């Protein structure tokens, strides 16, 4: 018997993407919509996600905007509880404040760990509760980083948040497996986005980064988006509790 061709289609599936106003989140929302998903773009800035959703609809795709702040745990949970269950959740909202530990403040800690870990955990709690209620399985994609597997100077808070997210992902994957809900991470290297662009204005920083990537370049948002579509699709149906490395070989060194 010949094997069936793998499907990366998301037709009829409801997909929620947080941090979808720009950069990686927007690219993932666009790719999921183009793959047939019914995409909900979520972010705090109404104008950004409103325009993005409108553009997708103009192309004939299914897309809507959800204005929400994931750091408002109770408010976000209430919005999710009032909506139909999602089939895939891209837990993407995140931030970074790179600096030496000697300069890190409590406010920096609250901002980075609060969004990257605390909000991600409780957002997953809200979305997976509805998935469990719906009883049809699902896919949770936590946006991690290569920095969830290695260390780097000036990134103590960021590494702490992403290593924590990796542990959370593995534990949740085990917990939700009986409900047929898969939980994985995507771990990019430095990706060309508005958030990373200022860092690469420093030639020394850029040279240091590229020296650690065997492929010799940074990544593009479409390369991350393709991984998200894969994890949301049936082609990843046996994958849970795993980290999908998109690091150009950084962690292979």
Domains contained in the chain, CATH given: 14-246 (3.40.50.720)
| pLDDT given at position 3 | 76
Q: Is the dihedral of CA 211, 213, 214, 219 positive or negative?
A: negative
Taking a C-beta distance cutoff of 8 angstroms, is the pair 227, 92 a contact?
no
Which pLDDT value is given to residue 193? 87
Q: Three-state DSSP class for 40?
A: strand
The 10s digit of each residue's pLDDT in 148-176 is 999 999 999 999 999 999 999 999 999 99
As a whole number, mean pLDDT of residues 191-209 equals 90
Residue 106 has pLDDT above 60, yes or no: yes
Q: What tokens were used for 8? A: 């990366």
Q: Residues with Cβ < 8 Å from 103, sequence gap 6 or more?
A: none
* 199 annotated active-site: no
Would you state the pLDDT for residue 141?
99
Task: Note the pLDDT of residue 2.
Answer: 66
Q: Which of 184, 202, 223 is nearest to 27 (CA)?
A: 223
Look at residue 4 in the predicted model and tell me its pLDDT: 79
pTM, two decimals, is 0.97
Q: Residue 194: what pLDDT?
A: 81
Report yes or no: 31 and 220 within 8 Å, Cβ to Cβ: no
- The single residue of 158, 199, 206, 212 carrying the catalytic annotation is 158
State yes or no: is 212 an active-site residue.
Answer: no
pLDDT at 1 (0 to 100): 57
Instruction: Select which of 109, 162, 199, 212 is catalytic.
Output: 162
Mean pLDDT of 85-97: 97
Q: Which pLDDT score is estimated for 199?
A: 86
Element (H, E) at 245: strand 243-246
Report residue 196's pLDDT band, with 50, 70 and 90 as the boundaries: confident
pLDDT band at 136 (very low <50, low <70, confident <90, very high): very high
């Amino acid at each position: 018997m010949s094997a069936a061709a793998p499907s990366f289609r998301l037709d009829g599936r409801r997909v929620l993407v947080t941090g979808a106003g720009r950069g990686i989140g927007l690219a993932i929302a666009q790719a999921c919509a183009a793959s047939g998903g019914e995409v909900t773009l979520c972010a705090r800035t109404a104008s950004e996600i409103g325009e993005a959703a409108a553009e997708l609809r103009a192309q004939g795709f299914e897309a809507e905007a959800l204005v929400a702040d994931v750091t408002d745990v109770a408010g976000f949970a209430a919005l999710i509880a009032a909506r139909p269950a999602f089939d895939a959740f891209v837990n993407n909202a995140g931030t970074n404040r790179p600096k030496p530990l000697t300069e890190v403040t409590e406010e920096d800690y609250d901002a980075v760990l609060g969004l990257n870990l605390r909000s991600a955990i409780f957002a997953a709690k809200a979305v997976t509760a509805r998935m469990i209620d719906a009883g049809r399985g699902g896919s949770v994609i936590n946006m991690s980083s290569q920095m969830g597997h290695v260390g780097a100077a000036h990134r103590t808070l960021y590494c702490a948040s992403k290593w924590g997210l990796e542990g959370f992902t593995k534990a949740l994957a085990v917990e939700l497996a009986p409900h047929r809900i898969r939980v994985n991470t995507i771990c990019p290297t430095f990706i060309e986005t508005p958030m990373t662009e200022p860092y690469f204005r420093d030639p020394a920083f850029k040279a240091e980064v590229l020296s650690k990537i065997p492929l010799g370049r940074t990544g593009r948002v479409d390369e991350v988006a393709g991984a998200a579509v894969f994890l949301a699709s049936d082609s990843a149906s046996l994958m849970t509790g795993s980290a999908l490395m998109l690091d150009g070989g950084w962690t292979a060194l």
